[in-house]
């Protein structure tokens, strides 16, 4: 039979502590359930006003716009934001925009506010669009909100589908 040294006991105790912590963390993670994904759908109206004159240098334009929105449906709210757009002047087939937007009102009856972050790119092969809830931006009943905002335009009408999660919803 071997006798453990003081160092051996220290290593054994450290290993037991690690195993216990992994078990506790694993049990906590297994017991914690992620909130279900919910969908808020509806329409919105948007107005955009130039914030500054477009600046063109080296054949590329850069402009800023002020956004104002009114949401109906699962989101009943007003939105306000700022957008930067850049690309070749007058081109409808190349460019990028980024925007931040504050939405204040209700989401499926819960009051509060949150931020949306936008990024859109277009080129000759098509376009990509990403609009997400800014992490940690939910306030009031919307604290902890996360999600992705899908946008479609049909016959000039802006439709949205916010796939979101809220703790304890």
- Whole-number pLDDT of residue 11: 40
Least Cα distance to 132 among 157, 158, 163 occurs for 163
Distance, CA of 70 to CA of 77 (rounded, Å): 6
- Whole-number pLDDT of residue 27: 45
Q: Which two tokens stand for residue 103?
A: 């939405």
- Whole-number pLDDT of residue 16: 37
- Whole-number pLDDT of residue 34: 83
Distance, CA of 74 to CA of 76 (rounded, Å): 6
- pTM, rounded to two decimals: 0.78
- Whole-number pLDDT of residue 53: 87
- Whole-number pLDDT of residue 96: 95
Same domain as 17, residue 62:
no
- Whole-number pLDDT of residue 93: 87
DSSP code at position 92: S
- Whole-number pLDDT of residue 15: 39
Same domain as 44, residue 28:
no
CB–CB of 75/43 below 8 Å? no
Same domain as 87, residue 12:
no
Same domain as 112, residue 49:
yes
CB–CB of 85/67 below 8 Å? no
CB–CB of 158/149 below 8 Å? no
Same domain as 71, residue 44:
yes
3-state secondary structure of 118: strand
Same domain as 98, residue 82:
yes
Q: Which two tokens stand for residue 85?
A: 């757009």
pLDDT per 10-residue tile (average), the chain, 169 residues: 45 40 45 83 97 88 96 98 93 92 98 98 93 97 97 96 90
Same domain as 123, residue 74:
yes
Find the CATH number of the domain harbouring 89. Answer: 2.40.350.10
Least Cα distance to 82 among 49, 127, 44, 120 occurs for 49
């Amino acid at each position: 039979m071997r006798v453990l040294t003081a160092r051996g006991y220290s290593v054994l105790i450290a290993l037991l502590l690690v195993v216990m912590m992994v078990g506790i963390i694993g049990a906590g993670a297994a017991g914690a359930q992620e909130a279900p994904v919910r969908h808020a759908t509806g329409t919105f109206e948007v107005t955009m006003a130039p914030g500054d004159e477009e600046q063109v240098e080296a054949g590329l334009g850069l402009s800023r716009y002020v956004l104002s929105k009114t949401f109906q449906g699962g989101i009943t709210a007003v939105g306000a934001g700022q957008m930067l757009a850049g690309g070749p002047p007058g081109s409808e087939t190349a460019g990028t925009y980024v925007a931040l937007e504050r939405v204040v009102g209700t989401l499926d009856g819960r009051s509060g506010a949150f931020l949306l972050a936008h990024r859109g790119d277009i080129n000759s092969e098509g376009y990509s669009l990403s609009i997400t809830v800014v992490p940690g931006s939910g306030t009031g009943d919307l604290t902890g909100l996360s999600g992705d905002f899908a946008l479609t335009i049909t016959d000039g009408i802006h439709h949205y589908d916010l796939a979101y999660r809220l703790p304890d919803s």
